[in-house]
């Protein structure tokens, strides 16, 4: 048992449209957690600029992601919502963590390898130290629980390593052990065009993903056109092995209907995809429609969204300040 107070922190990058993957893998789970834990949700604009962002577009996307979080049910009266760059402690702690994390650790990060691609020499230095900033986001608040999709697991392991090395190096028991919360049926939603690729904001094909900005008609069309194979649906989950597209659609169905995959297959096993797809399209529209419409409405209310982010940043800064002061003291920085 620890005396550490439980606290949730999570983030999303404003680097494109929010997708069904962000919703099922992350944001939807946050809505439930905010009732159980003190929660902080962050639009991580400083992470976004690790790859080039047009400034006007970054401002727009930052508000849009905040609107998406609100539309999905994050309640600013219950949780803190803000954008990362408004609280300077994130950058300050990230620098300290740049000096704690080892190059060998960063060299193992698969997301860097994927994002940097073949031309690593041309990737920004920020992209390389991205996981250190993520560790700073979490530990600036001594958060204990971090709800994310499957793809962030490795970054959270690094966060634990950084916390532990800091505690060891300075001989303190300061940072808590961070626990990843990878929740729900759909922890890794795949592309609708290629079941071996993650559904991503940055996929060049818009048909590969469902955006939270898509209208009802577009959502239904993308589901109907999603790639499948030609076999009937299996009656049991084991039958989805080596059928990534079928598995993905059934998983999405399960997540959206709050059921498990086995249960969904009981209804559709033995049938072709026609009825299943048309039911999945209707279900997707029913669940996502109200969220996308509320998000669109909020996107028109810039000053309201800005005021939520400003208030959130103030609250976040108040929580961060004493923790950062302790950290600076531990490291040996003189007080002004």
Identify which of residues 91 and 282 has a Cβ nearer to ligand TRP in the complex: 91
Site for ligand AMP contains 184 (CB under 6 A): no
Identify which of residues 114 and 169 has a Cβ nearer to ligand AMP in the complex: 114
312 binds, among ligand AMP, ligand TRP, none (CB under 5 to 8 A by kind): none
| Closest CB 169 distance from ligand TRP, rounded Å | 22
Query: Which H/E stretch holds residue 328?
Result: helix 302-331
Q: Of 35, 113, 115, 153, which is the active-site residue? A: 115
Among this protein's residues, is 115 annotated catalytic?
A: yes
Among this protein's residues, is 296 annotated catalytic?
A: no
| Closest CB 182 distance from ligand TRP, rounded Å | 11
Please tell me the distance from the alpha carbon of residue 61 to that of residue 81, in angstroms, as a whole number: 15
306 has which bridge partners?
Answer: none
**Structural tokens at position 266:** 């009981």
Terminal Cα-to-Cα distance of the chain (whole angstroms) = 36
Site for ligand AMP contains 40 (CB under 6 A): no
Q: Of 118, 165, 201, 296, which is the active-site residue? A: 201
Specify the 3-state DSSP secondary structure of 83.
strand
Among this protein's residues, is 335 annotated catalytic?
A: no
Please compute Rg for the chain using Cα positions.
21
Please tell me the distance from the alpha carbon of residue 167 to that of residue 177, in angstroms, as a whole number: 11
Binding-site string for ligand AMP from residue 193 to residue 222, where x marks contact by CB under 6 A and - marks none: -----xx-x---------------------
Identify which of residues 158 and 240 has a Cβ nearer to ligand TRP in the complex: 158
With CB under 6 A as the contact rule, the residue among 7, 8, 26, 203 that binds ligand AMP is 26
22 binds, among ligand AMP, ligand TRP, none (CB under 5 to 8 A by kind): ligand AMP
Give the helix ranges, DSSP H, for 37-152: 45-48, 55-72, 89-98, 103-107, 110-116, 125-139
Residue 146's nearest CA partner among 326, 93, 100, 155 is 155
């Amino acid at each position: 048992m620890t005396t550490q107070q439980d606290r949730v922190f999570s983030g999303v990058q404003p680097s494109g449209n929010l997708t069904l993957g962000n919703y099922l893998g992350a944001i939807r789970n946050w809505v439930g957690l905010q009732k159980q834990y003190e929660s902080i949700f962050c639009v991580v604009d400083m992470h976004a600029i690790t790859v080039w962002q047009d400034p006007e577009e970054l401002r727009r996307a930052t508000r849009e992601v905040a609107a998406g979080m609100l539309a999905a049910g994050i309640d600013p009266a219950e949780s803190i919502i803000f954008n990362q760059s408004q609280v300077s402690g994130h950058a300050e702690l990230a620098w300290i963590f740049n000096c704690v994390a080892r190059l060998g650790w960063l060299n193992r990060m698969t997301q860097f390898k994927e994002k940097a691609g073949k031309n690593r020499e041309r990737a920004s230095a920020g992209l390389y130290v991205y996981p250190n900033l993520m560790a700073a986001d979490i530990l600036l608040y001594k958060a204990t629980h971090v709800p994310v999709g499957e793809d962030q697991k490795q970054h959270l392991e690094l966060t634990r390593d950084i916390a532990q090395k800091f505690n060891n190096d300075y001989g303190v028991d300061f940072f808590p052990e961070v626990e990843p919360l990878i929740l729900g049926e759909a922890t890794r939603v795949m592309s609708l065009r290629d079941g071996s690729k993650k559904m991503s904001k940055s996929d060049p094909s818009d048909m590969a993903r469902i955006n939270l900005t898509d209208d009802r008609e577009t959502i239904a069309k993308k589901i109907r056109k999603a790639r499948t194979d030609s076999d009937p649906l299996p009656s049991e989950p084991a039958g989805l092995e080596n059928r990534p597209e079928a598995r993905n659609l059934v998983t999405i169905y399960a997540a959206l209907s709050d059921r498990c995959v086995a249960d969904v297959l009981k209804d559709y096993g033995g049938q072709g995809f026609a009825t299943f797809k048309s039911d999945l399209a209707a279900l997707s529209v029913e669940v996502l429609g109200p969220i996308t419409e509320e998000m669109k409405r909020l996107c028109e209310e810039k000053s309201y969204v800005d005021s939520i982010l400003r208030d959130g940043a103030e609250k976040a800064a108040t929580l961060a300040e004493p923790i950062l002061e302790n950290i600076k003291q531990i490291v040996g920085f003189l007080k002004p």
